[in-house]
Amino acid sequence: MKLSERSFGVVAEAFHRVSGIKLVPAKRQLVIGRLQKLATERGLDNLDEYVEQVIKGGDQAELVRVVDRLTTNETYFFREPAHFEFLATLLSRRRPGTEFRVWSAASSSGEEAYSIAMLLADKIGPNGWKIVGTDLSTAMVDAAQKGLYPMERARGTSPAYMKKYCKRGSGPYEGHFLVNKELRANVRFVQANLTQTLPDMGQFDVVFLRNVLIYFEPDAKLDIVKRVSPLIKPGGYLFTGHSESLSSLPTGLTNVSPAIYART
């Protein structure tokens, strides 16, 4: 399918308005690849017509699907393990009796939040901790709430954790695993846009803000970090993806290790 330069501009403008992410002209082919299935489902063989109907026509429900398709949701269990090692040392020093709270901002389909949950359950026990996961994409939030994954996503998860915290699927769920109910009870997911006012979630000991800042220009990146920082407890930490340095930005946070920042 084809997408004219003009229609690409309309999609890029709408996507930027909703997500805060800029789509450069070089992404036109990627946009075509991601949206053609949506056009076909609507009985259209023409992306320009789809853009006309959905975006110019102001179809809000369909626009949510467009945003879901255009966000990059790649994630997996125990991605960037150095953060989990740092978290484990924090847990060994924590004051007992206080609830340990972690926010997985941009949680995608939930693998990051459940990886944290496994570590917290292992080091603290079944209670005394809570995790909130948020993402722009409603489809991702729905998937995360289910906690059901194809087996190959488990790479990076120790066999001991798989045995302790997950259930192997059978019958129609053959080849999948489900995160245990006990673990899911301490993890909740909500839709939230990092470029807008955030929901009232309280403060967190650690915030994972990983592999999402990469999609933003420096100003927008700083704006997100400034919005997220007040939700970190004083003395708490912000983790970013290892390719997402904040060092050139006046965030007010202290870089203590690669991709780890303290709110001092």
Site map for ligand SAM, 85-114, x if CB under 6 A? Answer: ---------------------x-x---x--
Q: Are 235 and 206 in contact (CB under 8 A)?
A: no
Q: Are 194 and 222 in contact (CB under 8 A)?
A: no
Catalytic option among 68, 79, 135, 263? 135
Candidate segments 6-14, 210-218, 227-235, 256-264, binder of ligand SAM by CB under 6 A: 210-218
Identity of the residue, 40 or 72, whose beta carbon is nearer to ligand SAM in the bound complex: 72
184 is catalytic: no
Identity of the residue, 68 or 205, whose beta carbon is nearer to ligand SAM in the bound complex: 68
Which residues inside 177-196 make contact with ligand SAM, applying CB under 6 A?
Answer: 193-195
Per rule CB under 6 A, is residue 133 in the interface with ligand SAM? no
Give the span between the Cα atoms of 209 and 107, in whole angstroms.
9
Candidate segments 48-56, 83-91, 135-143, 147-155, binder of ligand SAM by CB under 6 A: 135-143
Q: Are 224 and 213 in contact (CB under 8 A)?
A: yes
Give the span between the Cα atoms of 46 and 185, in whole angstroms.
45
- E-assigned strand segments in the chain: 100-105, 129-135, 148-150, 166-168, 176-179, 187-191, 204-209, 232-240, 254-257, 260-262
122 is catalytic: no
Q: Which candidate, 239, 210, 196, 184, places its Cα nearest to that of 106?
A: 210
Rg over CA atoms, the chain? 20
Which residues inside 2-61 make contact with ligand SAM, applying CB under 6 A?
Answer: 19-21
Per rule CB under 6 A, is residue 221 in the interface with ligand SAM? no
Per rule CB under 6 A, is residue 205 in the interface with ligand SAM? no
Question: Which residues contact ligand SAM by CB under 6 A?
Answer: 19-21, 71-75, 79, 106, 108, 112, 135-137, 140, 193-195, 210-212, 241
Catalytic (active-site) positions = 34, 135
